[in-house]
Amino acid sequence: MIVRELELDLDAFEGPFDLLLTLVLKDELDLVELDVAAIVLAFLERLFERDELDLDACGEFLVLISALLELKARGLFPEEAAELAELEPEQAAEELARRLAEYRRMKEAAGWLRERLEVEGDRYFRIGPAPLAPKVEPTLAPHDPARLAAALRLMAVPPPEVSLAHMALRFPPVVQFLERFRSVLKRRSRFDFDQEVGELSRIEQAVAFLALLELRREGEISIEQAAPFAPIRISRSDVEREDSWTLRSA
């Protein structure tokens, strides 16, 4: 299965996956309009139509969809979202889900408004004053000048400072980990993923994992894990050839 040719039929887009990526990269398709979950579902459904697990396709898909998610996440959490940084990862995940649900509701409400417009399109009201309405002499009640001072003071209230604490939520570039792992593999033929990234934040670990998938896709490494949640072991591909055990044969 070739992931780039995966046919998608989404609200905002219809066509192959690679065209979608091109449009996103050229800024011709707004990621906010894009339902990433629908892409994942389309891929999973295609995957389960087949009996065998296509690991190459899964790896490629994970890299591509992660990149999309990363772009979308950056868009969804601009600097204003500083308060998220103070949350525990589980709370942050819950907050993410809540916001996603909130946005979906608003999107549906927008759809409702659009339908309403179509139904109500043939009702015309006058907008603005009547042509021959009586003219009003502008009369104003006395005002307290303190209100003017208060209005100006309110405009001088600085907006909340953008906290730098949420930098942890930012995504380090994948390439940073590609280089890091390549240099580790120059010194050692194998390493243990958890040991290498144990000190890092969750986000960094996730990006580091993406780097692993990318390296494997390029054929530079092989990945080995004895059981779910067991340590992930990484070995250089030239070493892998010496061993008989590879992920592909597993």
Partner 1 sequence: MDAPLRLIASNPLDQLAKTVEALLVVASAPLTAQDLAEAAADDPERVEAALGLVGERYREGRSGIVLEHVAGGWAFRASREAAEACARLIEKPAQRNLSQAALETLAIVAYLGPCTRPDVTRIRGVAADSAVASLLERGLISEAGRDEEAGGAIRYRTTPLFERVFGLESLSELPRLDDLGAGVDEIRDRLHAVAEKRTA
Using an 8 Å Cβ cutoff, are 234 and 221 in contact?
yes
- Do 174 and 211 contact (CB within 8 A), yes or no? yes
Beta bridge partners of 224: 233
Least separation in angstroms between CB 111 and partner 1:
8
What residue type is assigned to position 27 of the chain?
D
> Of the two residues 141 and 167, which places its CB atom closer to partner 1 in the complex?
141
Take residue 229 and report the two structure tokens written for it: 């949640």
- Residue among 57 and 234 whose Cβ is closer to partner 1: 57
- Tell me whether residue 20 or residue 39 sits nearer to partner 1 (CB atom): 39
Cβ closest to partner 1, residue 57 vs residue 178: 57
- Beta strand 190-192 with 221-225 is unpaired
What would the two tokens of residue 250 be? 């597993």
Q: How far is the CB of 119 from partner 1 (least distance, A)?
A: 7
Q: How far apart are CA 92 and CA 85, in angstroms?
A: 8
Least separation in angstroms between residue 219's CB and partner 1 is 28
Q: How far is the CB of 10 from partner 1 (least distance, A)?
A: 12
Whose tokens are 């994992």? That residue is: 209
Quote the least distance from Cβ 22 to partner 1, whole Å: 20
Q: Pick between residue 148 and residue 250 the one whose CB is nearest to partner 1.
A: 148
State both tokens at 128: 């603005």
State how far Cα 112 lies from the chain centre: 26
